[in-house]
Structure 1
Amino acid sequence: MRAEKLSISLPPESIRLIDAYRTSHAIRSRSQVIEHALRKLREDELEAAYREASADESDWDATAGDGLAHETW
């Protein structure tokens, strides 16, 4: 994976959290902890989008009643 170096500033409690997570999960670097956190954030956003889409049943009702009988599909 190609990586780009980035400099960020974080409060001391965030650094302690990163270091504690790295140690407890046997992760090699702070960068990998940040990458893990970003991947989790993306997953959470995607999950929320799916949840929102499934909650809007009016869209489902509009497409589910497309004229095909259950036997057809």
Structure 2
Amino acid sequence: MSPTLTRFIEHYKTAKGYKSRSEVISVALNLLQEKELEKAYKQADSEIDQDWDGTIGDGLSNL
């Protein structure tokens, strides 16, 4: 890990009251995981929307 990142983690740990650098890294990785999951959910939702748009009128007529 670069010295710049190490200093940032140490500063963040002190400023936010974390007990260790490992805890800061764990929190950061959890946030990254949440971001990636959100991105995947948005992609899946987009695919569902496209599928739905293609089938919404199948077999239905305007009354």
Report TM bin, short chain.
Answer: 0.7 to 0.9
Which runs of 5 or more structure 1 residues have no equivalent in the other structure? 1-9, 66-73
Higher helix proportion: 2
Distance change in 2, residues 1:35/1:64 (3 Å):
farther
The alignment's C-alpha RMSD in Å is 2.1
TM-score (norm 2): 0.74
Instruction: Give unpaired runs (5+ residues) of structure 2.
Output: 58-63
User: Of the two, which has the highest radius of gyration?
Assistant: 2
Q: 4+ residue runs of structure 1 moved beyond 6 angstroms?
A: 62-65
**Bigger relative contact order, structure 1 or 2 (CA pairs below 8 A, ≥6 apart):** 2
TM-score by length of 1: 0.65
Aligned residue pairs total 57
